[in-house]
Amino acid sequence: MPAMRVAVSFAGVLKRFGAFTALDGVSLDIGEGEFFGLLGPNGAGKTTLISCLAGLARVDQGSIAVLGHDVVRDYRTARRLLGIVPQELVFDPFFTVRETLRIQSAYFGLRRNDDWIDEILHNLDLTDKADSNMRRLSGGMKRRVLVAQALVHRPPVIVLDEPTAGVDVELRQGLWRFIRRLNQDGHTIILTTHYLEEAETLCQRIALMKRGRILALDSTANLLARFSGHALVLQLAEGQCLPEALRSCCRAVRGREVELALERLDALEGVLAILRQAGVTVADLRLQPPDLEDVFMRIVGVAEATP
């Protein structure tokens, strides 16, 4: 981890629900100002970890601190430092957008917060909905309000739990522009998402979780370098088939298209030599760069790419 002040620290966090171990000794430090990704399949423990951080769930063992403040012993300070965008699309149907944000501000002791509320509304493209009742908003709009609620008290640490689930492309782009700006202003961002390309584009570091454990923790670049390789996609000519020697590195077959895994770029020459030697005619070929989905599949092992 880069040398920086720790924004969020998880130390040996264990959480059980009856006989089920949701978090199995998670230890992790997230630096101040980082854009951090928390990835894993459903049931990996990401949301439980965030719930423990937010004080919605209590850890059975271990401790969690936000900027040095324990989330149990010093919960009021810790919660002031956190802004959490929940995964579920929840809202209070009695209030307008502006009332919702004013009430949320007041929960944090902020009485006169309209300038910042206006700025958030503007950045999330909600200004013309400020006086609309929450019930009248579309799902995407409600999601934006959830983001706004998490930001009303200008928390230095912002946690986004699947913030773009079910959200249209335009909002997603706008939301990330705003979150990026907050990150550039020094806010620490912790993101869980199922959209791996989002994590790959946005996150400086990533933790991959499965069954309550962290399986991999590194910078996005290192993870891509360590666990992913390039993919060589071949379009075989009519009647041609893949030589036996290349079957072990075959990831997928789609009609005449074959996808081969390349651990390193210099393996390309060897593959082409085998094809030449076997007399296989290739109609087209293209090289695909490493991606996080590949890393995810390899580490988490949710699914196997089969030839």
Partner 1 sequence: MNIGGSGFAALFYKELLRFWRVAFQTVAAPVLTALLYLLIFSHVLEADRQVYGVPYTSFLVPGLVMMAVLQNAFANSSSSLIQSKVTGSILFVLLPPISYAAFFWAFVAAAAIRGLVVGLGVWLVTLPFVPVAPLQPWWVLLFALLGGAILGALGVIAGIWADKFDQLAAFQNFLVLPLTMLSGVFYSIHSLPTFWQAVSHYNPVFYMIDGFRHGFFGISDVAPEQSLAVVAACFAGLALLTLALLKRGWKLRT
Contact footprint for partner 1 (CB under 8 A): 17, 51, 54-58, 75-77, 79-80, 82, 84, 86, 88, 90-95, 99, 103-104, 106-109, 149, 153
Q: Which is nearer to partner 1, 9 or 96 (CB)?
A: 96
Q: Which is nearer to partner 1, 19 or 303 (CB)?
A: 19
Q: How far is the CB of 197 from partner 1 (least distance, A)?
A: 28
Q: How far is the CB of 114 from partner 1 (least distance, A)?
A: 15
Name residue, tokens 């629900």.
17
Q: How far is the CB of 229 from partner 1 (least distance, A)?
A: 41
Q: Are strands 257-262 and 230-236 parallel, antiparallel or unpaired?
A: antiparallel
Q: How far is the CB of 80 from partner 1 (least distance, A)?
A: 5
Q: How far is the CB of 226 from partner 1 (least distance, A)?
A: 36
Which residues touch 35 (CB under 8 Å, ≥6 apart)?
Answer: 180, 183, 189, 191, 202, 203, 204, 205
33 close to 215: Cβ distance less than 8 angstroms: no
Q: Which is nearer to partner 1, 2 or 109 (CB)?
A: 109
Q: Which is nearer to partner 1, 104 or 228 (CB)?
A: 104
Q: How far is the CB of 48 from partner 1 (least distance, A)?
A: 9
Q: Which is nearer to partner 1, 90 or 265 (CB)?
A: 90
Q: Which is nearer to partner 1, 99 or 259 (CB)?
A: 99
Q: 132-156 burial string, b = 16+ CB within 10 Å, else e?
A: ebbeebeebbbbbbbbbbbbbbbbb
Using alpha carbons, list the distances in angstroms from residue 189 to 20, 82, 142, 211. Answer: 29, 10, 21, 23
Q: Which is nearer to partner 1, 58 or 276 (CB)?
A: 58
97 close to 131: Cβ distance less than 8 angstroms: yes
282 close to 258: Cβ distance less than 8 angstroms: no
